[in-house]
Amino acid sequence: MANNEEEMVVTPWEVSGKVDYERLIKEFGTQPLTDALIKRIEKVAGYQHLQLRRKIFFSHRDLDVLLDLYDKGEKFVLYTGRGPSSHTHLGHIMSWIFTKYLQDAFKVKLYFQLTDDEKFLHIRDLTLDDARDYAYDNALDVIAMGFQQGKTKLIVDTKNIALLYELALRVAKLTTFSTARAVFGFKEESNIGIIFYTAVQSAPCFLESVITGKKVPCLIPAGIDQDPHWRVARDAATRLGYYKPAQMHCKFMPSLQQSGKMSASIPETAIYLTDTPKEAKKKIMNAFTGGRPTIAEQRKFGGNPDICPVHQYFYFLFEEDDKKMEELNSTCRRGEILCGECKELLAERVGKFLLNHQRKRKQARNVLQKYLLK
């Protein structure tokens, strides 16, 4: 647990304190995403996605190995997921937007896992029925991202467990309690379900290999908080005769408040994809910023976009044009734009995005069955 605001904690179940991404690369033992690797993806995709250009995806494991295999003609599968504990928020879709870019570029299959089991086990007051309902609700957001119908399979754990169980057992047998405790920090009071659960999240890494009967590489785009699971999966992979799953890790979209990531468990920090534009605007207008206490000081000394979540939202999702982004940054520093103006502009963009998303989300109901793994 974080003892104070500044202590960095990054696990699949807790992200707090100021996140130092360089330090995470060292501590987790991952690799920085290099320009050379970004160029290799660009070569296939035809352009650099904003999340590559801005190094929002900043770290990886074995992406080079996966791309070498791809160059030799071995197609990979994509795998990502969501723990359905609430409605989806803007932070969750960062890696999904990027996953869609990869699916379109490489024309590959995607497995998307909805872990109602995990959230039931982890969140004291969440019933299994509620977690499952959220799984199907969140699935609509996934479909609304535009993933290709024939190439995208949604796994709902409690529904599809028969398909995952053998793989999960094989991973579990190779994973000792002492490894799991070291990786996830389990305590005496941790329930035994959550200790086993990592094997369930590892299973989809190898699912395509089981289905096709040959070794298929797998690439997982996700927030770096999920990395501990991949350490377990990678350890088991070679012993099970599969490729180690490759990863690409993204940074966290910040909370609207002063520190931490946008988190589903703290509603005021998050903009949900089901929020009305009015609700979203209210949260944005109440957000912490990098501004000065008074207009006069702001005009004189300028604001600090480096610590401002409002600025970060433009950077992560809502201002694609690099030149305009730079302009927003410098007008803030020079005190030429006030926080209220910046918030209004963001609220307008977020509102438009939400309306468009909610229209697609409605249509997604008609095709949900086609995306669910049978």
The pairing of beta strand 57-61 with beta strand 31-32: antiparallel
Q: How far is CA 339 from CA 70, 199, 302, 346, 367, in A?
A: 46, 46, 10, 10, 42
Q: Least Å distance between CB 328 and ligand TYM?
A: 20
How many residues bind ligand TYM (CB under 6 A)? The answer is 24
Q: Least Å distance between CB 301 and ligand TYM?
A: 30
Alpha-carbon Rg for the chain, nearest whole angstrom, is: 21
User: Which letter does DSSP use for residue 254 in this model?
Assistant: B
For residue 153, the surrounding DSSP H or E stretch is strand 152-156
Q: Least Å distance between CB 94 and ligand TYM?
A: 4
Q: How far is CA 241 from CA 10, 206, 234, 343, in A?
A: 30, 10, 11, 52
Give the residue with the Cβ less far from ligand TYM, 309 or 335.
309
Tokens of 228: 């501990």
Does residue 51 belong to the site contacting ligand TYM (CB under 6 A)? Answer: no
d(CA 98, CA 364) in angstroms, rounded, equals 20
User: Which letter does DSSP use for residue 219 in this model?
Assistant: E
Does residue 335 belong to the site contacting ligand TYM (CB under 6 A)? Answer: no
Partner residues linked to 201 by β-bridges? none
Stretch that binds ligand TYM, among 65-73, 128-136, 247-255, 349-357 (CB under 6 A): 247-255
Stretch that binds ligand TYM, among 17-25, 248-256, 291-299, 358-366 (CB under 6 A): 248-256
CA of residue 296 relative to chain centroid, distance = 39
Give the residue with the Cβ less far from ligand TYM, 59 or 201.
201
d(CA 160, CA 117) in angstroms, rounded, equals 11
Give the residue with the Cβ less far from ligand TYM, 203 or 337.
203
Out of 30, 59, 80, 312, point to the residue binding ligand TYM (CB under 6 A): 80
Instruction: Give Dmax over CA atoms of the chain in angstroms.
Output: 68
Stretch that binds ligand TYM, among 76-84, 206-214, 232-240, 274-282 (CB under 6 A): 76-84
Give the residue with the Cβ less far from ligand TYM, 196 or 336.
196
Contact pattern for ligand TYM over residues 181 through 210, marking x by CB under 6 A: --------------------x---------
Out of 16, 113, 312, 329, point to the residue binding ligand TYM (CB under 6 A): 113
What are the φ and ψ backbone dihedral angles of 275, each rounded to 5 degrees?
-65, 145
Does residue 319 belong to the site contacting ligand TYM (CB under 6 A)? Answer: no
Give the residue with the Cβ less far from ligand TYM, 94 or 232.
94
The pairing of beta strand 110-114 with beta strand 152-156: parallel
SS3 239: helix
Does residue 226 belong to the site contacting ligand TYM (CB under 6 A)? Answer: yes
Residue 4: how many other CB atoms lie within 10 Å: 7
Tokens of 234: 């990678």
Does residue 289 belong to the site contacting ligand TYM (CB under 6 A)? Answer: no
Give the residue with the Cβ less far from ligand TYM, 204 or 302.
204
Contact pattern for ligand TYM over residues 91 through 110, marking x by CB under 6 A: xx-xx---------------
Q: Residue length, the chain?
A: 374
Does residue 260 belong to the site contacting ligand TYM (CB under 6 A)? Answer: no
d(CA 213, CA 207) in angstroms, rounded, equals 10
Give the residue with the Cβ less far from ligand TYM, 106 or 337.
106
What angle do the packed helices 157-173 and 192-202 form, to 10 degrees?
90
Out of 170, 261, 283, 292, point to the residue binding ligand TYM (CB under 6 A): 261
Does residue 160 belong to the site contacting ligand TYM (CB under 6 A)? Answer: no
Out of 41, 49, 83, 353, point to the residue binding ligand TYM (CB under 6 A): 83
For residue 236, the surrounding DSSP H or E stretch is helix 227-240
Residues forming contacts to ligand TYM in the complex (CB under 6 A) are 12, 79-83, 91-92, 94-95, 113, 115, 118, 201, 220, 222-223, 225-226, 250, 252-253, 261-262
